[in-house]
Amino acid sequence: MTLEVAQDRDDAQGSPVDEGQRRGARAGAVDHVDVLVVGAGISGIGAAWHLRRQCPDLRFMVVERAQSFGGTWLTHKYPGVRSDSDLYTFGYRFKPWTGAPIATSEEILRYMKEVIAENDLDRHIQYRTAVESASWDSAHNRWTVEMRDLTSGEVRTVRARFLWMCQGYYRHEKGYTPEWPGMADFRGRIVHPQEWPDDLDVAGKKVVVIGSGATAATLVPALAGKCAGVTMLQRSPTYFMTGRNANELADTLRQLEVKEEWIHEIVRRKILLDQKAFADRAAAQPDAVRADLLANVRLHLGDAAPVEPHFAPTYRPWRQRIAFVPDGDLFTAIRDGKASVVTDRIRSFTPDGIALESGDVLEADVIVTATGFNLNVLGDVAFTIDGKPLDFADTVTWRGLMFTGMPNMVWVFGYFRASWTLRVDIIADFVCRLLRHMQEMGVERVTPQLRPEDQDMRLSPWVDADDFNPGYLLRGLHLLPKQGDRPEWRHTQDYWLDKDILPAVDLDETTLRYA
């Protein structure tokens, strides 16, 4: 991969960039970069850090459609918004986390801001920039990317050798809300947590939160005591895990005045080991794990609400994500009478609330639909390969990060059963190693390609629905690539496999075709 620079060489080496250029104000100009990173959330900022450290001679740009960095943590503004993964593993491996394990969005944004400032990443980022199309040209071995400045409305072009898609997996602009009969008749407000309005005041109002996942479990205790009453209405329950929002090992190591870098690594490894033991036990002894989880909920709830049916899912543990409830705040709110839970199905909305299939009616002034995401596949960008529109569902994944027929492109898709960012770091190591390998070989294109022996390989969906089946994924599974039954073509979703296999992948293996 040759280094191509269209702007000042000094800029690539670290000199300040004119603000108008950085924001894409040069109408009609064509920028040339070695790597274009799409998205400035937890994945994109991680990619930028690794490029700066591991590939300092490559020119890169990060584009983000929002007004700032942060992704999920910028988009979500609903009351109490917090992580549902511990920050020792959700944080980057290179940046120690020093706060409580379960963090607020403000704390996570502050952490990311420090990463950007400490590593001079801001000059590489262009905000309010939406990628609309990406076209690969094999004759020139590059992507031509059309993007719109959302402030000025101008369209500009960037030509890139390599695309690193870090935009996540759901649409930030609009959450998923099912269509129920009678919604138009409801006289109150219906809001999705992803689109929480600044002017919403719940004081003195009856609130119903539809949903049972991590978002609902966060919203209910955050609203409890601030409104006339809040009810969590769920069609089916979720498994919850509770614990103190603290890490005893980290606290002990700090008392011993151990360096924060060491604390971060030690605690990170211990949490990962414990998570693996729990996941293995959930697979081997699902009934025992279920009993333990329900007993813990019962301990927090007391007699305030029955565990059955409200907190006893019918599926085995870890078939969907297990939400962590720090300090048991959801159950405390129910036990103290500040919140309630109803397990039922919605028959229709009414002018004053929700009619349930059981015949009961929930009165409401505000209804919050914590009902999930709309899947975003490759940023909803229109891709073409040598003039032919890409149907992403026709591709086969290469180890869950590259795809057949798509040259010079990687998509970061994190873990379901572990922190998303763990895979960000692993993929970043791989991408940087691949880019350096291509430079050393003097090649400019790499494309995953099925071998002759793979042509009759059995294909299956992007994820096994019998193993993991959240609604947002099942609704969009037909849009996603396939996976095969051989290691190179699997999307394992297994951190313990990836951490050993991806660093050891032979970059000259025959599944990767260079040109």
pLDDT (0 to 100) of residue 23: 44
Q: How far is CA 285 from CA 140, 147, 217, 418, in A?
A: 55, 50, 26, 19
pLDDT category, 122, cuts 50, 70, 90? very high
Q: What stretches of 176-239 show up as alpha helix (H) in DSSP?
A: 214-223
Q: Which domain does 147 fall in, by range? A: 9-172+375-514
The CATH number of residue 281's host domain is: 3.50.50.60
What is the reported pTM? 0.91
Rounded Cα–Cα distance for residues 385 and 191 (Å): 39
Same-domain check for residues 293 and 238:
yes
Same-domain check for residues 187 and 336:
yes
Q: How far is CA 363 from CA 206, 359, 406, 453, in A?
A: 7, 13, 52, 61
DSSP state of 380: G
Residue found by looking up tokens 């019962």 in the block: 298
Q: For the ranges 95-104, 373-382, 478-487, which has the lowest average pLDDT?
A: 373-382
pLDDT (0 to 100) of residue 461: 94
Beta strands in 380-455 (DSSP E): 382-385, 388-389, 397-398, 402-403, 409-411, 446-448
pLDDT at 20 over 50: no
Q: Which helix (H) or strand (E) holds 368?
A: strand 366-369
> Does 1 fall in a domain?
no
- Mind listing the pLDDT tens digit for each residue in 288-301? 999 999 999 999 99
Burial class (CB within 10 angstroms; exposed 0-12, middle 13-18, buried 19+) of 51? buried
Q: Which of these three, 343, 369, 395, is where a domain ends? A: 369
Query: Total domain count for the chain?
Result: 2
Residue found by looking up tokens 């924060």 in the block: 260
pLDDT (0 to 100) of residue 29: 62
pLDDT (0 to 100) of residue 28: 52
Same-domain check for residues 422 and 505:
yes
- Mind listing the pLDDT tens digit for each residue in 179-238? 999 999 999 999 999 999 999 999 999 999 999 999 999 999 999 999 999 999 999 999
Same-domain check for residues 419 and 436:
yes
- Mind listing the pLDDT tens digit for each residue in 43-62? 999 999 999 999 999 999 99
Same-domain check for residues 161 and 205:
no
Closest listed residue to residue 418, CA positions, set 482, 492, 475, 316? 492
Same-domain check for residues 228 and 164:
no
pLDDT (0 to 100) of residue 15: 34
> Does 44 fall in a domain?
yes
- Mind listing the pLDDT tens digit for each residue in 340-379? 999 999 999 999 999 999 999 999 999 999 998 888 888 8
Same-domain check for residues 145 and 61:
yes
- Mind listing the pLDDT tens digit for each residue in 127-183? 999 999 999 999 999 999 999 999 999 999 999 999 999 999 888 888 999 999 999
pLDDT category, 470, cuts 50, 70, 90? confident
Q: For the ranges 3-7, 238-242, 317-321, which has the lowest average pLDDT?
A: 3-7
Q: How far apart are the first and last CA of the chain?
A: 10
Distance of CA 68 to the CA centre of its chain: 17
Same-domain check for residues 493 and 392:
yes
- Mind listing the pLDDT tens digit for each residue in 388-413? 999 999 999 999 999 999 999 999 99
Mean pLDDT of 417-438: 96
Same-domain check for residues 21 and 155:
yes
pLDDT at 450 over 60: yes
> Does 178 fall in a domain?
no
Q: Which of these three, 337, 369, 401, is where a domain ends? A: 369
Q: What stretches of 55-166 show up as alpha helix (H) in DSSP?
A: 72-75, 87-90, 105-118
Q: Coil, strand, or helix at residue 123?
A: helix
Same-domain check for residues 326 and 415:
no
pLDDT category, 318, cuts 50, 70, 90? confident
Closest listed residue to residue 422, CA positions, set 122, 100, 87, 164? 87
Return all residues near 402 (Cβ < 8 A) that are at least 6 apart.
409, 410, 411, 448
Q: How many residues are given for the chain?
A: 515
Same-domain check for residues 85 and 122:
yes
- Higher pLDDT: 27 or 280? It is 280
Same-domain check for residues 117 and 235:
no
pLDDT at 11 over 90: no
pLDDT at 321 over 90: no
pLDDT (0 to 100) of residue 24: 41
pLDDT category, 9, cuts 50, 70, 90? very low
Torsion of CA 505, 506, 508, 511, to 10 degrees: -50
